[in-house]
Structure 1
Amino acid sequence: MITDPNLILADLQANWLLYLAMPFVAAAIGYYTKVVAIKMMFKPLKFVGWRPFLGWQGIVPRKAATMASVACDLMMERLLKPEDVFDKLDPQRVAAEIRDPLIRAVEDITREVAAEYQPGLWESAPESVKNLLIQRIQNEAPHMVEQIMTDIKSNITRVFDLKDLVTSALVRDKELLNRVFLEAGHVEFKFIRNSGIYFGFAIGIVQAIVWAFTHNIWVIPLFGLFTGWFTDWLALKMIFNPKQPVRYLGLFEWQGLFLRRRKQVAARYGELVATEIVTPAAVIGAILTGPMSDRLFGLVQKQVQRTMDEQAGLAKPLVVFAVGSTRYQEMKRSVSEKVMQHLPETLTHMEAYAEEAMDLKNLMVEKMQELTEEEFEGLLRPAFQQDEWILITVGALLGFLVGELQVHAMIHFAVPVG
């Protein structure tokens, strides 16, 4: 411990440039440890290195399934339910939107099935008879679609798995998962980076003072470690705390940055979910090919068979006699399967209407405004919370290593005094 003021003053005068550099080096440590921490949260998307310990994968991509599940649980509990997606769709309007492609599909299906189950009879029938049969089925097809849509709305939780849609999209596309967190919290991540400069600079001033009084070789590395650790920890705390505005020392007021920006985050988060994840195309795809698609096939089969029986009318016994009862049942199932095969392309024609009718972006924003502070925090917090101790530890170690280099520079370049 140096207690002679004259020696301290002489050392400051002789090595003023080194002392002046200390706060700036500490600021650089604060900044770059934050940059590294943020990079480590999201990159790389896949594990790079040698498993199991020597290497790294971004925390968010590595925890994709867990984070997607957490986000989806909150979304389904408070923001969006399967009923919200479909309640605004009008079955008649849907039928009208897909009428033209539906009519073309019905003609193709009718010709394919008739040629398959009664090739001789169908080929020998006059074209006018074929066209009349096709037209009758085409006229009934929009009503069948209306009924199918009504059945879907009544059984939405049986045919549509919203959680599977969201989690599958985010786990499959880890870049999208990263973007959800990065774009919704871009201001918070910028704050983390820049806060390292200010906090680090302040700590660097204290570091310079302590070094002037001690010249202990452990001072600078330990301050580097402290700078890397403390600035990471404090920045994370300031993003989410306090949940309500609090005035400190009567001089300034602070509220967790993420909570203070609730409206802006709500708008961006809602937009991302509505335009990137729960889109009309994705919803239609999930219903047609998702884990509950077999139940949808049951609804379609019921309506197709009802329509065929009604169209057969008085001629049904003759049709059954001509093809046999077993073949008649097979024929109805074949029609149902072909309807399902044509549905993906047919339903694309209703996407513009569905997007307008569902209005998911405004619905999401409106619902998010109703969240409590704790629930709102749950949107972004998982990205920071998962293994955040690793990020803080890395920041501390980087700070220590830079401090070691700095102390060697101090010893090498410092001008001896006294």
Structure 2
Amino acid sequence: MSLALWSIPLIGALIGWFTNYLAVKMIFRPQKPVIVPVLGIVIQGVLPKRKPEIARSLGEIVARELVSFDEVAEQVSKKFHREDLVNILAGQANEAVMKSLPSVTPEPVKAMAGHLVAGIVRHQAPDLLTEFTGKALEEIKKQVDLAKLVEDKINQMDWEQLERLVLEVSSKELKHIEVLGGVIGFMIGVVQLVLAYS
């Protein structure tokens, strides 16, 4: 079998690699529609062409499958140190009472009044905070559309940013696709060679 015949698998590998290389590039480019002369075919990268739809789908997936508002609220509640906040409120109430009393009021009376109000705050604040945070989170839930937030964020990104983001995540896999095209092309060439001379 002559050496020239082995060019068949090599050409197959080259065609397979180039086809996949081109397919990967066409995920991102051209960014704007390009009309092929004579044929009149309009070519545009998959991601640039479908960016609004992709942004909407990603927003829905994030909101539905990855991060729900209830999970966000739960995490906020865990990080929310209620006891510390109650102590801060009680301290501020104590200070406010002592400052608001007339200067002629004896210091022991001021201190007693301040401590009394601080005690009331410490007693009532936990329930009030629970009610307040619950209502606040419900209101935020009504006002904030997580899916729309993600969609808008993606749509606001310029194309270079979005391309870099995708490549950072999947550049290795995309390279594997290119190489796989070459391997498959080579194997097909070998099969053709074997069939031709068997």
Match of 1:377 in 2: 163
Looking at structure 2, the residues matched to 302 and 351 of structure 1 have their Cα atoms a distance apart, in angstroms, of 20
**TM-score normalised to structure 1 length:** 0.34
With over 3 angstroms needed to count, the CA separation of the structure-2 counterparts of 1:237 and 1:279, relative to structure 1, is same
With over 3 angstroms needed to count, the CA separation of the structure-2 counterparts of 1:247 and 1:396, relative to structure 1, is same
Is 2:193 aligned against 1:407? yes
Given the alignment, which residue of 225, 236, 257 partners 2:13? Answer: 225
Deviation, 1:284, is 2.6
SS at match of 1:217: helix
Provide the identity percentage.
25
C-alpha offsets along residues 9-44 of structure 1, whole Å, 9 cap, x if unaligned? Answer: xxxxxxxxxxxxxxxxxxxxxxxxxxxxxxxxxxxx
Looking at structure 2, the residues matched to 258 and 306 of structure 1 have their Cα atoms a distance apart, in angstroms, of 51
C-alpha offsets along residues 94-147 of structure 1, whole Å, 9 cap, x if unaligned? Answer: xxxxxxxxxxxxxxxxxxxxxxxxxxxxxxxxxxxxxxxxxxxxxxxxxxxxxx
After TM superposition, the structure 1 = structure 2 runs for residues 218-367 of structure 1, keeping only pairs within 5 Å, are: 218-250=6-38, 251-289=40-78, 293=79, 296-297=80-81, 300-306=82-88, 314=113, 316=115, 353-367=139-153
C-alpha offsets along residues 33-83 of structure 1, whole Å, 9 cap, x if unaligned? Answer: xxxxxxxxxxxxxxxxxxxxxxxxxxxxxxxxxxxxxxxxxxxxxxxxxxx
After TM superposition, the structure 1 = structure 2 runs for residues 177-188 of structure 1, keeping only pairs within 5 Å, are: none
Looking at structure 1, the residues matched to 165 and 58 of structure 2 have their Cα atoms a distance apart, in angstroms, of 9
Looking at structure 1, the residues matched to 52 and 197 of structure 2 have their Cα atoms a distance apart, in angstroms, of 52
Equivalent AA in structure 2 for residue 218 of structure 1 = W
Deviation, 1:349, is 8.6
SS at match of 1:218: helix
Looking at structure 1, the residues matched to 16 and 134 of structure 2 have their Cα atoms a distance apart, in angstroms, of 52
SS at match of 2:30: coil
SS at match of 1:369: helix
1:245–1:255 Cα contact (<8 Å) kept: yes
Looking at structure 2, the residues matched to 367 and 229 of structure 1 have their Cα atoms a distance apart, in angstroms, of 35
Deviation, 1:288, is 4.4
| Count of residues paired in the alignment | 168
Deviation, 1:259, is 0.2
Looking at structure 2, the residues matched to 408 and 252 of structure 1 have their Cα atoms a distance apart, in angstroms, of 38
Deviation, 1:236, is 0.6
2:24–2:174 Cα contact (<8 Å) kept: no
Deviation, 1:234, is 0.6
With over 3 angstroms needed to count, the CA separation of the structure-2 counterparts of 1:223 and 1:231, relative to structure 1, is same
Looking at structure 2, the residues matched to 377 and 365 of structure 1 have their Cα atoms a distance apart, in angstroms, of 16
Equivalent AA in structure 2 for residue 232 of structure 1 = N
C-alpha offsets along residues 261-287 of structure 1, whole Å, 9 cap, x if unaligned? Answer: 111111111212233334223323433
With over 3 angstroms needed to count, the CA separation of the structure-2 counterparts of 1:368 and 1:232, relative to structure 1, is same
Structure 2 gaps, min length 5:
95-111
With over 3 angstroms needed to count, the CA separation of the structure-2 counterparts of 1:351 and 1:400, relative to structure 1, is farther
SS at match of 2:42: strand
| RMSD across aligned positions (CA) | 3.6
**TM-score normalised to structure 2 length:** 0.65
With over 3 angstroms needed to count, the CA separation of the structure-2 counterparts of 1:378 and 1:285, relative to structure 1, is farther
Equivalent AA in structure 2 for residue 259 of structure 1 = P
1:280–1:354 Cα contact (<8 Å) kept: no
With over 3 angstroms needed to count, the CA separation of the structure-2 counterparts of 1:347 and 1:314, relative to structure 1, is closer
1:228–1:396 Cα contact (<8 Å) kept: yes
Looking at structure 2, the residues matched to 248 and 352 of structure 1 have their Cα atoms a distance apart, in angstroms, of 53
Given the alignment, which residue of 176, 180, 183 partners 1:394? Answer: 180
Match of 2:99 in 1: none
Match of 1:134 in 2: none
C-alpha offsets along residues 169-204 of structure 1, whole Å, 9 cap, x if unaligned? Answer: xxxxxxxxxxxxxxxxxxxxxxxxxxxxxxxxxxxx
1:270–1:361 Cα contact (<8 Å) kept: yes
Compare relative contact order (CA 8 Å, sep 6+) and give the higher one, 1 or 2: 2
Structure 1 gaps, min length 5:
1-213, 321-331, 413-418
Looking at structure 1, the residues matched to 138 and 65 of structure 2 have their Cα atoms a distance apart, in angstroms, of 15
2:12–2:188 Cα contact (<8 Å) kept: yes
Equivalent AA in structure 2 for residue 373 of structure 1 = W
SS at match of 2:31: coil
